[in-house]
Amino acid sequence: MAQISVDIERGPDEPASPHQGRHPNTCPVCSSHYRDDELVAALRVCRQCGHHFRLPARERIAQLVDAGSFQEAAADLRNADPLAFVDRKPYTERLTEAELATGLGDAMLVGTASVGGRPCALAVMDFFFMGGSMGSVVGEKFCVAADLAVARGVPLVAVASSGGARMQENVLALMQMAKTVMAVDQVRAARLPFISICSDPTTGGVIASFAALGDVMIAEPGALMSFAGPRVVQQTTGETLPTDFGRAESQLRLGHVDLVVPRAELTAALGRLLQLFAPSTDEPTADAPAPVPPPAGPMGWLRRLFGGAGG
Ligand SMILES: [Zn+2]
């Protein structure tokens, strides 16, 4: 098969990423610096300004679910590189480097777990594996998680962190958008909830597919959640954008997100949601008090549940 080769270079006028050249443990907002153990103990949230650093998938799972409850599935799935894609280096070389750097087979871990004693199927992305990009393996793993949810009759929980579709897989990566949307439909058809948690960044083909389809949409503070980044939108439209363009807080204001939850409160929030969605085993009795009607407005019931945290 002929090799597909493209040349990707940063243009001389293109601004560098705000994270470029900065130590990974230095806060990009307030420049506070932390030892690794300090940062892990603080759930990788800056103690000075509240900036949420990006989380490796295994650390996310350790923070989020009941200790020892995660059972990984589809751990052996690996990419086949059917396009024999080469940019500045072969795709297979990039995959090997990412695998060595992260200890992961691809940019998503899936399996089953429990949160607050409530079971769920789980799909967690890792931005440190090729920018959390979604290729064939990520798409297939998400479907495995959806299948697990349906087979066990439990909610599906996804934690997204992605730059979008994986360009090295071309149309095969774009097809994962349709595939993961169908997987969400399958969960919905089984009348099971899908809870989508968007961390920084959730962009491109991932926010344009499964990550935006949660029955409950949760975001971490400050998470960028837009199809295109603010710089691209600003260059294309010639408009000056608000400083919080595409961020979790503006998506909450615009109604695309139900809750913005700080990382330290995420496990409790998820546990309460799973409890809310759990099938009731107790039939209501005639003496049971009448249910209190939820506050008016969209998602009023959710804001009441979280004491107004939904804004
Ligand atoms: Zn900071």
Residue 101 Cα to ligand 1 middle (Å) = 25
Whether residues 45 and 166 fall in one domain: no
pLDDT at position 287: 57
> What is the mean predicted confidence (pLDDT) over 236-249?
93
Query: Does some domain include residue 293?
Result: no
Whether residues 101 and 150 fall in one domain: yes
Residue 127 Cα to ligand 1 middle (Å) = 20
Whether residues 111 and 245 fall in one domain: yes
Residue 33 Cα to ligand 1 middle (Å) = 8
Q: Give the total residue count for the chain.
A: 311
pLDDT at position 6: 46
Query: Does some domain include residue 219?
Result: yes
Residue 162 belongs to domain spanning:
54-276
* Rounded CA separation 25/110 (Å): 27
Whether residues 224 and 118 fall in one domain: yes
Whether residues 118 and 36 fall in one domain: no
Identify the helix (H) or strand (E) that includes residue 305: helix 300-305
Residue ending a domain, among 53, 69, 97, is: 53
* Rounded CA separation 3/160 (Å): 31
Virtual CA dihedral for 302, 306, 308, 311, nearest 10 degrees? -60
Query: Does some domain include residue 130?
Result: yes
3-state secondary structure of 245: coil
Whether residues 120 and 266 fall in one domain: yes
The more confidently predicted of residues 307 and 166 is 166
Whether residues 139 and 34 fall in one domain: no
Residue 13 Cα to ligand 1 middle (Å) = 28
> What is the mean predicted confidence (pLDDT) over 154-165?
97
Residue 150 Cα to ligand 1 middle (Å) = 41
Residue 175 Cα to ligand 1 middle (Å) = 38
pLDDT at position 278: 86
* Rounded CA separation 97/86 (Å): 15
* Residue type at position 182: M
Query: Does some domain include residue 237?
Result: yes
pLDDT at position 21: 77
Residue 304 Cα to ligand 1 middle (Å) = 31
Query: Does some domain include residue 13?
Result: no
Return phi, psi of residue 2, to 5°: -65, 145
Residue 52 Cα to ligand 1 middle (Å) = 8
Whether residues 171 and 30 fall in one domain: no
* Rounded CA separation 284/287 (Å): 8
Residue 164 Cα to ligand 1 middle (Å) = 26
Render the burial of 205-236: b for 16+ CB within 10 Å, e for the rest.
bbbbbbbbbbbbbbbbbbbbbbebbbeeeeee
Query: Does some domain include residue 247?
Result: yes
Residue 221 Cα to ligand 1 middle (Å) = 13
Give the number of domains in the chain.
2
Whether the pLDDT of residue 310 is over 50: the answer is no
Write 300-304 long-range contacts (CB < 8 A, 24+).
302/216, 302/258, 302/259
* Rounded CA separation 192/246 (Å): 29
Whether residues 46 and 187 fall in one domain: no
Residue 176 Cα to ligand 1 middle (Å) = 35
> What is the mean predicted confidence (pLDDT) over 46-73?
97
Q: What mean pLDDT value characterizes the chain?
A: 89
Identify the helix (H) or strand (E) that includes residue 156: strand 156-162
Whether residues 137 and 178 fall in one domain: yes
Residue 25 Cα to ligand 1 middle (Å) = 10
pLDDT at position 279: 77
Please list, in sequence order, all residues whose beta carbon lies within 8 angstroms of the beta carbon of residue 115, skipping any fewer than 6 positions away. Answer: 64, 65, 66, 157, 267, 270, 271, 274
Query: Does some domain include residue 68?
Result: yes
And the tokens for 260? Answer: 């913005």
* Rounded CA separation 306/273 (Å): 10
The CATH number covering residue 85 comes to 3.90.226.10
The more confidently predicted of residues 134 and 308 is 134
Residue 222 Cα to ligand 1 middle (Å) = 12
3-state secondary structure of 263: helix
Please list, in sequence order, all residues whose beta carbon lies within 8 angstroms of the beta carbon of residue 220, skipping any fewer than 6 positions away. Answer: 52, 197, 198, 199, 200, 248, 260, 261, 262, 263, 266
Query: Does some domain include residue 128?
Result: yes
- Residue identified by tokens 């594996």 is 129
> What is the mean predicted confidence (pLDDT) over 63-75?
97
Whether residues 59 and 49 fall in one domain: no
